[in-house]
Chain A
Amino acid sequence: MKLSGARLLIEELIHQGVDTVFGYPGGAVLQIYDELYKCKDRIHHVLTAHEQGAAHAADGYARASGKVGVVIATSGPGATNLVTGIANAYLDSVPMVAITGNVATEALGRDSFQEVDIVSITQPVVKHNFMVKDVTELEQTIKEAFQIANSGRKGPVLIDIPKDVQISECEYGVAVLPKMPDKPKLPYDQEGVIALLSQAKKPLIYAGGGITAAKAEKELIALAEKLNIPVTVSIMGRTAFPDSHPLSLGLVGMHGSYVAAKTQSECDVLLALGVRFSDRATGNIARYTQNCKVIHVDIDKAEIGKNISPDYSVQGDVKKWIKEILPKLKEQKHPKWWEEIHGFEKTKSKVEGDFHPKHILETLRKYTEDDTVVATDVGQHQMWTAQYYRFEKGRTFLSSGGLGTMGYGLGAAIGACFGRKKAHTVLITSEGSFGMNCNELCTAVHENLPITIILMNNRVLGMVRQWQTAFFGKRYSETVLDRSTDFVKLMEAYGGKGFNAKNCKELEDALKEREHYNGPILINCSINPDEKVLPMIPPGKSVDDIIL
């Protein structure tokens, strides 16, 4: 069957199981959009307000569904607008395929209208990228792109397709997917790992995004229960372990709980599963492992030894590893260790005031299900959500962990909503982050998505201001955002419903409106600008320096 490059692309996307793509048309992707038009009953295209929003939507779709997210943009500015979204997916290891059009091959390199070298621009922030100069290579390239994005440590892949390649025809259904190249692996001392785990008196599991990526949530519960080990999680692994589980100690790191930090500093064996020991998670790296031996399990060889040197390492898929080692381990009990941990639990940060973010999140939780996806933007509200919202199921917390992208949330919530068959989705944001990409409200309204937006409005750039309070003598340089934007009116202008809430009662009244309305709603919650994210371990410090 002979097809044009553009049609071949759509057919192969459908073949790869893609039901939804996010994007924005333009001069260099006209052929592709013409084929999308013809195939609209087989593949749904979501038009966003901006290519960045489309990239975040593809990312949110991937995180919420566990499938590969796809975004399409035109050449030049369309392509460069994707860069933040691609970098965001790269830092958080999210499988994504980005497709860009480019000027015709004969016009390449001449600074043609809307021409940029997007392959070079994105190179440091993709797993791999391709420029397809011959239509006969297109089918295999798309197959390879999906395989690369979704295998090993997942991540984004970009395919740049010049205009003439989209028009040229070739035979479809002939390409064979090449085998992923074999790369050398690290040696694995299974007996040593079993011996260390069996001798441990004060073991601790530290779980990260690798658990989510490997879909190993059930296996993690089985492992923790058999060995009676407490479990802490990183931001990327926030939903790796259910909060209500008795072995759960919750978030660890700069804004993790005291009990998590103290348990970490007192443990004798740290079993790190699918983590990369980010500086935000470890604090002072020298003191981080001074009392314990470390077993590091990760799929990416380059992560082992990058930030800390483990005593034992396992390079591979964490789900496979747990399944393999679990029958070889004997059941354990650690009553003394747990007694010590329950002692640590008594030290907590104080929560004062009636409309503290904790109260907002607990009120919200009464109106959400365990499998409701919650996306966040970046800043104080993001950390409060990670601290106070009760997460029970995998892939329900979508947040920009590595890149820390303000403006990620709304696009991600839109994508997640499609990834979960338009189920109720929540966005927790604040006026700083929301201001960056609130243009995507038009997408949520147009698609009639049941997204509940909780806007924690403190009229300041809270997280930066918190650092200015702590480390810069309260010199609030450019962090006061009192710009009198009326977010309720803004929401209404876009065609959604907006509410103001100054207390939990008003918040509940607004949340109840969700029952009567299926489109997006925004609840503007006024909170105290001096509210801080606590506890906090200052950068480069340890639990001994914790600010409660």
Chain B
Amino acid sequence: MAIGELVPGVAAGRLSPDKYAENFSDLHAPLDAHEALVAADRCYFCYDAPCVTACPTDIDIPLFIRQIATGTVDAAGITIFSQNILGGMCARVCPTETLCEQTCVREVAEGKPVQIGQLQRFATDHLMAQNAHPFNRAADTGRRVAVVGAGPAGLACAHRLAMHGHRVVVYDGNAKAGGLNEYGIASYKTVDSFAEREVSWLLEIGGITIESDKKLGGDLNLAELTDRFDAVFLAIGLAGVNALGASGQGKAGVRDAVDFIAELRQAESYAQVSIGRDVVVIGGGMTAVDAAVQAKLLGALNVTLVYRRSRARMNASRFEQDLAAAKGVRIITNAAPVEISGNAAVESISFEYMDDDLTPMGEIFTLRADQVLTAIGQTLGATDLPSLTRGRIAVSQDGRTSVANVWAGGDCTGLGDDLTVTAVAQGRDAAEDIHRALGA
């Protein structure tokens, strides 16, 4: 039985099964065939199209949309996947409003871009539904590459290496492959176990072995990997989290938003996931918004997202901010946490207003809270790595690290935005560079 939203404290089973199902349904219902044709007709087939320039993986967007419009949807899918093998997930999670769709000339002209993300999903879903992997593996080269981390960068790298005929072993510290796609993205963006299905589909290329529950610094060390393999690609993501820096952070009810989302994503049913009645989320990125929105969807009565700078500085896109607001999340900006109060468990949290340069304004306010989720940035949280820069693995544009035969990509490097699509691009490009190096 649903206990409802009013029960105080951190509790599971607040909502009815129907309500959970409704709340966690697909954020954007997929386009049907008619909608896709109508949307595709709006594309102008621009010359040297701005949307392609804006895409980190350089998908030929006008071409795939024209292929949809002319009734060859699988060809459209191949156009996408040949640049971005995780084009299905990117169609769901890319902040298109700040990438391709922001630069669409129809956004410029009418404020209504071509629905590139939705069309990409239409094409990729269509091709993936054929249950036949669209790419063939080249003849076996006998070369072996270790990929550490089965997230977007690692998978993209592994797939491209496998296409070139290399044998790839992908290690991952978690039980399932997929990385943030599997553990770190809001549930309503990837319904019906899409992340898991996508990994299975990707592995159909052949030549890739996944070894789970193996971590660098644990079962693996870099020197041993470089000995055993012809090349190593590090895509270990960011395993550590930043400390809050407010007193009382050890109290019960304070937890890391990444863990919260991972628990939610892996739960057998939403009713098993506990959520507070008065939830405060601290942070301004996608993780903060994903946590805040999902807290609300799990039945929290009050969810407040607090960010230390202004809205314009939030890493979460405007669309994500509006989504949070539409779901009933209150957003407070220019406030940093000072103290978490309560006996054993958190009861309230106080904040101090800050200006955009993070200068305290001397004014304190307190929010009632029985749960505090922190999403204030992640760190490498690993040792035994090549040289770092600004706390991330230092790499060249091709992903080469300070260690010979070791490449890196994705969030663990400081190269580019922390986006799925960026990670895919880096994994793919590193694979091409590894392929060149192995051929030499």
A, B from the same assembly: no
